[in-house]
Amino acid sequence: MNTFDKPEGAQRVRLPPRTAEYGGHTEVLVVGGGPAGFGAAMGAAAAGAEVVLVERYGFLGGNATAALVMPLMSFHNEMRQAVGGDDTRLLPTDHGEGEPVVAGVLWMLLDRLVRNHGAITPSKETGYTVPFDPELFKLVMYEMLAGSGVRLLLHAFASDLITLPDASRVVFETKSGPVVVDADVVVDCTGDGDLAASAGAPYEIGRPEDGLTQPMTLMFRVGNMDRAAFAGYVRDHPDQWKGVHGLWDLIRDARDAGELDLPREDVLFFATPHDGEVSVNSTRFGGLGISVWDLTRAELTMHRQLASIARFLRGRVPGFASSYVIQSGVQVGVRETRRVLGDYQLTGQDVLDARSFDDVVARGAYPVDIHNPNGPGTILRRLPQGTSYDIPLRTLLPRDVDRLLVAGRCISGDHVAHSSYRIMPISMATGQAAGVCAALSARVGKPPREVAAAQVQRVLRAQGASLPSAV
């Protein structure tokens, strides 16, 4: 299929001015309903603010549901070394005991999901990752938001943030035409920092040497596989399977026969809460997740890879003979785009040194996990055993803009630090922190950066967030 590509030397054209429907005012406006947006809306509402949450799709969850990124990565500081990286295991693991370093909204969500049979409790056996059901994930989020009094607007894509003297105004593109919503404070949880960029906040993209970002991946669910037969194959061929990665000989044979279009060196599976089902994370496309041209090419390329990998599983992998593709993501999963520059930029060294900060508002223990932007391979580097790193409030405060916070994968950090804090549990924790700061800012009528970190920490603790006890 041909893609409609950007013409050579494309120019910008001026559009006519337009009017919009006025959607009202709220104290806190959270844009983006992924893990960070959910954390932000719940945190702000629990801190007493009037909250509106707006999402471009007709459902919540972000990558967790739209891109079928189905396990929550570990948020525990495992005491022993383990294999890992974007993964959950099908087989018993070699993880040691670990302490959770994220709590608060994440634990509330998990508790409900597990009670609804929608997730598997994190434990040594699951490698502290949490396989979950994406449909139940959506439903539980709706219930929790409804219980917190958060108002929801779906099918609304934020295209602009305008700074007014006494409010931030966000423009949404909708089927009803343009709609604007005013807020005392906006929390940008778009993952891509769309609003921060629109408001003029500086940002970085990609690694310093060439600006390349981590690749995108189209994830898909495969059903009707025989887990016992597959586990038997792995048991009998230990050299073919390490952690969750493997099938090397089968891949080589399929490649030699010209049958397999696989951009990785191995196949990566995720367990799900359902027997007979796995989630596959093995497609890749190097490109920029905020370029409509790259996104289009990514969808087409990775659907071709999906078909090839599914054929390979059915044709060559024990346990998969009767398997079929249940579903692929509504869109390709985007790992990395804008990293908005804030009052502090968290570095890879901060992460690997397990650094502490006085203005800590969230914590992480997940390794540096960089999927090669232009080829096979993944860099995985762990923190010292049993430690975690702090995420300071300053990373949520975009430079040069007031009445705006960022949360989730677009906070202020370098390419290496981002590869750790991007995971969903940590995104939810930075979301909760940003929501609390936004609520306090709206209450006292001061910009977010004038809210004392100690006050944000007090409220976060009262909400059950996990912060170091020394603070």
Ligand X SMILES: Cc1cc2nc3c(=O)[nH]c(=O)nc-3n(C[C@H](O)[C@H](O)[C@H](O)COP(=O)(O)OP(=O)(O)OC[C@H]3O[C@@H](n4cnc5c(N)ncnc54)[C@H](O)[C@@H]3O)c2cc1C
Report the 10 Å Cβ neighbour count for 444.
12
Pick out residues in 171-230 that bind ligand X (CB under 6 A): 189-192, 194, 217, 219
Is 67 near ligand X (CB under 6 A)? yes
Of 144, 158, 429, 437, the residue at the interface with ligand X (CB under 6 A) is: 158
Tell me the closest approach of the beta carbon of residue 323 to ligand X, in angstroms: 20
Overall residue count recorded for the chain in this entry: 471
Both structure tokens of 219: 């994830």
Q: Whole-number minimum distance, CB 60 to ligand X, in Å?
A: 7
Minimum distance from CB of 459 to ligand X (Å)? 21
Q: Which of 34, 246, 342, 413 binds ligand X (CB under 6 A)?
A: 34
Work out which of 55, 133, 277, 359 binds ligand X, going by CB under 6 A.
55
- Taking CB under 6 A as the rule, does residue 107 contact ligand X? no
Among 42-50, 231-239, 296-304, 330-338, the segment contacting ligand X (CB under 6 A): 330-338
Nearer to ligand X by Cβ, of 56 and 415: the residue is 56
Residue closest to 208 by CA, chosen among 402, 49, 345: 345
Task: Using the minimum distance from each CB to ligand X, give the nearer residue, 32 or 392.
Answer: 32
**Within a 10 A sphere around the Cβ of 470, how many other Cβ atoms?**
7
Q: What is the identity of the amino acid at 366?
A: Y
Site for ligand X (CB under 6 A): which residue of 105, 302, 306, 334? 334
33 touching ligand X, by CB under 6 A: yes
Task: Give the phi and the psi of residue 34 in degrees, each rounded to 5.
Answer: -85, -165
Going through 292-351 in order, the beta strands assigned E by DSSP cover 324-328, 338-340
State the minimum distance, in angstroms, from the CB of residue 446 to ligand X.
26
Q: Does 72 bind ligand X (CB under 6 A)?
A: yes
| Residue closer to ligand X, measured from CB, 45 or 316 | 45
Q: CA torsion 174→178→179→181, rounded to 10°?
A: 110
Question: 196: number of CA atoms within 13 Å, CB side?
Answer: 33
Among residues 76, 89, 95, 335, which is the contact residue for ligand X, using CB under 6 A?
Answer: 335
From residue 381 to residue 410, the character string flagging contacts with ligand X as x (rule: CB under 6 A) and all else as - is ---------------------------xx-
Report DSSP letters for 65-128, one per residue: HHS---EEPP-B--SS----SS---SS--------BS--THHHHHHHHHHHTT-B----TTTTT
The set of residues, in sequence order, having a beta carbon less than 8 Å from that of 133 and lying 6+ positions away, is: 70, 113, 117, 118, 119, 272, 273, 274
Task: Provide the minimum distance between the beta carbon of 324 and ligand X in the complex, in angstroms, as a whole number.
Answer: 21
Number of residues engaging ligand X in binding (CB under 6 A): 40
Interface characters, 420-449, with ligand X (x: CB under 6 A): --xxxx-x----------------------
Q: Which of 157, 233, 248, 293 binds ligand X (CB under 6 A)?
A: 157
In the chain the first and final C-alpha atoms are separated, in Å, by 57
Give the orientation angle of helix 105-115 with respect to helix 424-444, to 10 degrees.
Answer: 130
441: left (phi over 0), alpha (psi -120 to 50) or beta: alpha
Told to check if 42 binds ligand X by CB under 6 A, we report: no
Q: Which lies closer to ligand X via its Cβ, residue 26 or residue 316?
A: 26
168 scored as a contact of ligand X (CB under 6 A) = no
Cβ atoms within 10 Å, residue 223: 15
Note every long-range contact of 232-240, with CB atoms under 8 Å and residues 24 or more positions apart, other chains counting. Answer: 232/318, 232/319, 233/317, 233/318, 233/319, 234/90, 234/91
The stretch among 28-36, 92-100, 223-231, 251-259 that binds ligand X (CB under 6 A) is 28-36
Q: How far apart are CA 432 and CA 73, in angstroms?
A: 18
Q: Smallest distance from the beta carbon of 8 to ligand X, in angstroms?
A: 28
Distance from C-alpha of 127 to C-alpha of 130, rounded to nearest angstrom: 9
68 lies in the binding site for ligand X (CB under 6 A): no
| Distances from the Cα of 123 to the Cα of 77, 89, 95, 110, 296, angstroms | 12, 12, 9, 13, 39
Q: Which of 407, 73, 25 is nearest to 270 (CA)?
A: 73
Of 63-71, 100-108, 291-299, 377-385, the segment contacting ligand X by CB under 6 A is: 63-71
Q: Is residue 62 involved in binding ligand X (CB under 6 A)?
A: yes
CB of 63 to ligand X, least distance (A): 3
Site for ligand X in 282-301 (CB under 6 A): none
Q: With CB under 6 A as the contact rule, which of the stretches 33-41, 242-250, 354-362, 440-448 interacts with ligand X?
A: 33-41
Residue 72 Cβ vs ligand X, minimum distance, rounded to whole Å: 5
Binding residues for ligand X, rule: CB under 6 A, are 31-37, 54-57, 62-63, 66-67, 69, 71-73, 86, 157-158, 189-192, 194, 217, 219, 281, 333-335, 408-409, 422-425, 427
